[in-house]
Amino acid sequence: MYQIQQSPAPAVDVAYLFKAKPLVLVLAAFFTPNIYAVDTSQIDLPALAVTGNPLGVGSDELVVPVSVLNGRELSLHREGTLGETLNGIPGVTATQFGPNASRPVIRGLDGERVRIMQNGIGILDASSLSFDHAVGIDPLVIEQIDVVRGPAALLYGGSAIGGVVNAIDHRIPKEQLEGITGRTEARFGGPDGTRNGAVVVDVGNGQFAIHADVYSRKTSDLDIDGFAVSRRKSEADGTPRENRGKLVNSSSEGDGGAFGAALTFENGYVGASFSTLNNNYGVVAEEAVRIDMKSDRWDLASEFTDLGNVINRVKFRMAHTDYGHRELENGEVGTTFLNRGNEGSLEAGHAKIDLGNGFALNGVVGFQFNNTNFEALGEEAFVPSVNTQNKALYVYEELPIGEKSLHKITFGGRLGHATVDSKDSANFGPGQNNSFNPNSYALGGLYSINENWSLTSNLSHNERAPSYFELYANGAHVATGQFEVGNSNFKEEKSNGIDAQIRWKDAKNAFSLGVYYTRFSNFIGLFETGNLIGELPEAQFRAVPAVFKGLEFEGKVGLTDQLTLNLRGDYVHAKEKDSNEYLPRIAPLRLGAGLQYQLNKFGAKLDVLRAFKQDKTANNELATDGYTNVSALVAYKLPTKLNLELFAKANNLLNDEIREHASFLKDISLAGERSLLIGLRGDF
């Protein structure tokens, strides 16, 4: 449906695969003879249910706008960070703190308002605290990514006012499997000299299934065309334009892997997995600073269906995460961030409730919980140690209408309770306790005009408990170059919104146009005061009325049997309501078009994305010039018994100066120069 922006893609020191994770390689080698017996057509594991709906319906039947990347499409568009992998989907940009730390921004909202999940459970890291902190997920081992655009707090957590990104892997097998399936992937090149690789293997005997994966990546400093510092910034404050051609301290090295196992049945599964992630990368804003990150995660999951006439489905998920990273300055530990905790959910689906006259209600009831302990230790700790706990009950119901259930109404609610308690600290004083009761409600509908056209709309009221750093920050935040001050008197952030789409689909052709309007009574944002504390400008978290509105569209038209035209675009307009001032870091209007050609084993894509100049800026924010990113991809399935595909990706063919307005670093960091990346992927 859309083309993903082709950004520089970091990737594997393949040699690492042969010395670091022997268990996975032994499994792969043991089963290698079986590979030659399979058909050469692409093999994909069963797609999981789309995140936007707990009842397992397809994306065409969803009321909320959802984008899905999986299979070969995800593999060919995979980038080094989650944010850059998704950047270019209508409504989605990225924070882009250099090439190694990039978190998704949905409809102009970032940080805590975009809930990032792994297999339906929130990730636990420090990426929402600071833009230089990488997300604790590596795209190399992800099999599917679902993006819910717009309020999704009802089902996926009170912080999901902007949307949800759910990264799905098969680390806990959920389907009965006999034999072996898997994939391999390796990439080389790009503007950062990337070297990466991954091996993913699933083995089963029909009842017991195991999963193993391993990956490694390594990149050099990013090659850029020109200076890292923008001309605008140099003229505004005199910052010298140095280091032409290289983005200094932007290299990275990472690896990780997982092992999982499950008992699978005709109507369900029960399983567990362990995964680990290591990531060491340079912080572009500080030439002498690197971040050394490690995250270990244990998952439990189970689901059973067809259970009876009252409760027909039960799903349980739980994860424990032990996350930490050290900020190293000239090799010495300066600050350490730790985040440990548990999150889980229990969900029960009820059998259809007959309401008479042909109406039957279908839905779920669920309970979610988490308990996390965050600590910041060292010279740049600008927030105290905090314990955060959340509990919530939610219900979601669908009422199909019409002879063939062509129309439906959806509704539900979420009742939550959150506590955010800071601990006594010599730097921050006595601990403080805050509790909140965020509640959310939604009412939506889908109306099918005919077999091709449909309309959807969703009304929602959403509430979010303030995060620990919005409440308790009080110190120098070097990554953003500000002295940040929180406000422990904040109440729940509240918003009301409407989202509407018109959709058309005819065979392989499709088009959708969506508009949205969200009004915050007390939007919690970080605003500069104009004061200096030491040498840094003071920035306070304040709650202000704000309005976000915009539109998104995407389309796919088959010009011939082999040639497809893809279109996409988005626009966000966000202002503080009382002062009528623009909010910071809002992406400009973007329009994209692409051609996709496929003939037998050969495929090619040409994509053009135009981002316009953004001069609707907040106070003390510089404008950003527009850019045109032209990218291309060529892929060829090799004529071998193995299902191998060789591909080449060219990015920024015009060698344009690409700076993302949503990035805090847009004036001291830019995307890579014109480049070529070559990769090989295989499925078995």
Give the tens place of pLDDT for each residue, 508-564.
Answer: 899 999 999 999 999 999 888 888 898 888 999 999 999 999 999 999 999 999 999
**pLDDT higher than 60, residue 666:** yes
pLDDT band at 165 (very low <50, low <70, confident <90, very high): very high
pLDDT band at 50 (very low <50, low <70, confident <90, very high): low
Dist CA 680 CA 474 (whole Å):
48
Dist CA 145 CA 163 (whole Å):
13
Dist CA 12 CA 255 (whole Å):
8
Dist CA 177 CA 261 (whole Å):
12
Task: Please tell me the predicted confidence (pLDDT) of residue 331.
Answer: 86
- Please report the beta strands in 24-77, taking only residues with DSSP state E, as ranges in sequence order: 66-70
The residue-averaged pLDDT of 451-469 equals: 94
**pLDDT higher than 60, residue 33:** no
Q: Would you state the structure tokens that stand for residue 212, as one six-digit string?
A: 């193993």
Q: Residue 374: how many CB atoms within 10 A of its CB?
A: 25
pLDDT band at 350 (very low <50, low <70, confident <90, very high): very high
DSSP character at residue 87: B
The residue-averaged pLDDT of 83-107 equals: 92
Task: Please tell me the predicted confidence (pLDDT) of residue 25.
Answer: 33
In contact, 83 and 103? CB cutoff 8 Å: yes
- Please report the beta strands in 104-177, taking only residues with DSSP state E, as ranges in sequence order: 104-106, 114-118, 121-122, 144-149, 163-168
Dist CA 11 CA 676 (whole Å):
13
Task: Please tell me the predicted confidence (pLDDT) of residue 477.
Answer: 87
Task: Please tell me the predicted confidence (pLDDT) of residue 341.
Answer: 96
**pLDDT higher than 50, residue 425:** yes
Domains of the chain (ranges; CATH) run 14-683 (2.40.170.20)
pLDDT tens, 353-364? 888 877 889 999
CA 658 to each of CA 82, 433, 480, 661, 674: distance values in angstroms, whole numbers, following the listed order: 19, 44, 20, 10, 11
Task: Please tell me the predicted confidence (pLDDT) of residue 152.
Answer: 74
Task: Please tell me the predicted confidence (pLDDT) of residue 529.
Answer: 86
The residue-averaged pLDDT of 42-48 equals: 41
pLDDT band at 39 (very low <50, low <70, confident <90, very high): very low
The residues near 553 (Cβ < 8 Å, ≥ 6 apart) are: 90, 511, 512, 513, 514, 567, 568, 569, 570
Task: Please tell me the predicted confidence (pLDDT) of residue 520.
Answer: 96
pLDDT tens, 401-416? 877 668 899 999 999 9
* 101 closest CA partner among 124, 128, 75: 128
Task: Please tell me the predicted confidence (pLDDT) of residue 59.
Answer: 58
Element (H, E) at 71: helix 71-77
The residue-averaged pLDDT of 227-239 equals: 93
Average pLDDT value for the chain: 88
Candidate from 76-80, 178-182, 190-194, 657-661 with smallest mean pLDDT:
76-80
Task: Provide the whole-model pTM.
Answer: 0.89
* 527 closest CA partner among 467, 584, 575: 584
Q: Scanning the structure block, which residue is given the tokens 């655009």?
A: 149
